[in-house]
Amino acid sequence: MKPSQSSVIAVALLTQGVAVGMTYGILPVFLEPLEAAFEAPRTEISIGQILMMLALTVGSITTGVLLDRGHARRVMLTGALMLSTALFVASRATNLWMLGSAAAMAGFAVPSIGPLAAASLITRAFHEDRGRALGVMSMGPPLGAGLFAALAGWLLLSFDWREVYLLFSGVALVVLVPVIALIVPARFESASAPSGEGSESADLQTGEAGGVGALLRRPTFWWTAGIFALATGIATGWTVHVAAYLGGLGLAEAEGSTLLALQYWMGVPGALVFGMLADRVSLTTLFVAMLGTASAVFAGFATGPSPLVVSGLCIVSGFVLGGVIPLYMLLLGRRMGPDALGRAMGLSNVVMLPVMAGAVLLAASNYESEGGYGLALSVFSVGLLAAIGCLFVSNWSVRTR
């Protein structure tokens, strides 16, 4: 591995870890403190996750186009500054409207410094062993999510939630801006597509706005995006409620945040293992194993098992779902082409948004009506099996082109 490639991976790990950790990673830990502070029901607080994902969707499309046109440093610096500002606004929030605005701002910032930007950089820096590089890159989100979830849980024992948000705002500013300014190139280099299963990207024009329309006209894109929408939408939507779910099983707040962090951290070996296997094993085989296992885990959650069993299920869940990003990025890059990856990923987030919003609200309403999450978790288990169906139809669509 060249020194320049090592630097790219290091930046991708760091920026993703901070971006995901300080948004989705800490949100479950703050759910109950925010409920108490604003005297609001869980459904209203959970809407913050939807606002964040809605803004992320819009930001992904804009960011994807800019990345496909080669921009790098400017995009990532803008995202870093916006994230720091969002966390500062959250620390000053006096009502739910202000808190929601902060959530939306944070969501808009994530694509510029999260997996989308990192995958664009990795795809251009690595022409061989791209699966392994994407796997290493994808360790950033679970590492950051676990670190900041655990840190937030322990800090809330001694500090007010506003003070914790303010601290995280300063960390984002001090850590991200200098690293991006010094290491990230001003522009990405043009990418080359690796040979692999299901490549059909030849007619997607690099950096042209018309490429969005070309993607939307492809049935293969829609079925491929369906895999991501169901897997990521369900996992992300459920994450909002994990800490509260663990509390309902009798775990203390610090214990729940620690277990949540452990679940996030298990995504680190999961991302690495699935990424390395992707260079040697069929993506279809890996997706079926990953999604089938995740479906079984959610079915296990639905039974309301003991804390010990739940701990094991959380570990398995973190490991297998850690493979979603590297496998999907690799699959999308092969099918749509690396120079259309930004647009394709941005549009994938559009498809994922309603699934994520539905998962958040279904879990919240299930809890408020029945005091538990059994029905929602059963639906999530079936949804993950449906993602396997999208995979097979996507494969068929490629073969029949």
Residue 56 pLDDT > 50: yes
For residue 207, what pLDDT band results from cuts at 50, 70 and 90?
Answer: very low
Among candidate residues 340, 334, 395, the one with its CA nearest the CA of residue 194: 334
Q: Is residue 22 part of a domain?
A: yes
Half-sphere exposure of 98 (CA within 13 A, CB side): 12
Residue 364 domain boundaries:
3-184+201-399
Q: Which residue has the higher pLDDT, 188 or 52?
A: 52
Q: Is residue 347 part of a domain?
A: yes
121: CB partners within 8 A, 6+ apart: 8, 11, 12, 72, 184, 188
What's the confidence (pLDDT) of residue 170?
Answer: 95
Q: Is residue 151 part of a domain?
A: yes
Distances (CA, A) of 91 to 156, 239, 281, 369: 13, 22, 46, 31
Q: Is residue 162 part of a domain?
A: yes
Instruction: Report, as an integer, the average pLDDT of 166-175.
Output: 94
Q: Is residue 359 part of a domain?
A: yes
Measured distance CA(337)–CA(69) in Å, rounded:
14
The angle formed by the CA atoms of residues 283, 284 and 285, to the nearest 5 degrees, is: 90
What's the confidence (pLDDT) of residue 286?
Answer: 94
Measured distance CA(185)–CA(164) in Å, rounded:
32
52: CB partners within 8 A, 6+ apart: 23, 24, 27, 103, 104, 106, 107, 110
Measured distance CA(401)–CA(395) in Å, rounded:
10
Q: What 3-state DSSP class applies to 47?
A: helix
For residue 201, what pLDDT band results from cuts at 50, 70 and 90?
Answer: very low
Measured distance CA(141)–CA(322) in Å, rounded:
9
Instruction: Report, as an integer, the average pLDDT of 148-163.
Output: 89
What's the confidence (pLDDT) of residue 385?
Answer: 96
The angle formed by the CA atoms of residues 13, 115 and 353, to the nearest 5 degrees, is: 150
**Which domain CATH number covers 23?**
1.20.1250.20
Instruction: Identify the residue whose tokens are 């509260």.
Output: 244
Tokens of residue 231, six digits: 């897997």
Q: Is residue 193 part of a domain?
A: no
In DSSP terms, 378 is beta-bridged to: none
For residue 5, what pLDDT band results from cuts at 50, 70 and 90?
Answer: confident
What's the confidence (pLDDT) of residue 334?
Answer: 78
What's the confidence (pLDDT) of residue 101?
Answer: 92
What's the confidence (pLDDT) of residue 188?
Answer: 62
In DSSP terms, 71 is beta-bridged to: 187
The domain total for the chain is 1
Element (H, E) at 272: helix 267-277
Asked if 110 and 83 count as a contact pair (C-beta separation under 8 A), the reply is: yes
Q: What are phi and psi of 187, to 5 degrees?
A: -140, 145
Q: Is residue 196 part of a domain?
A: no
Instruction: Report, as an integer, the average pLDDT of 253-259.
Output: 77
For residue 375, what pLDDT band results from cuts at 50, 70 and 90?
Answer: very high
Asked if 9 and 163 count as a contact pair (C-beta separation under 8 A), the reply is: no
What's the confidence (pLDDT) of residue 135?
Answer: 74
The pLDDT tens digits for 299-324 are 999 988 888 898 899 999 999 998 88
The pLDDT tens digits for 269-295 are 888 888 888 878 899 999 999 999 999
Tokens of residue 158, six digits: 């001694």
Among candidate residues 226, 234, 274, the one with its CA nearest the CA of residue 380: 234
Q: Which residue has the higher pLDDT, 229 or 188?
A: 229
Q: Is residue 390 part of a domain?
A: yes
Average pLDDT, the chain: 83
Asked if 357 and 237 count as a contact pair (C-beta separation under 8 A), the reply is: yes
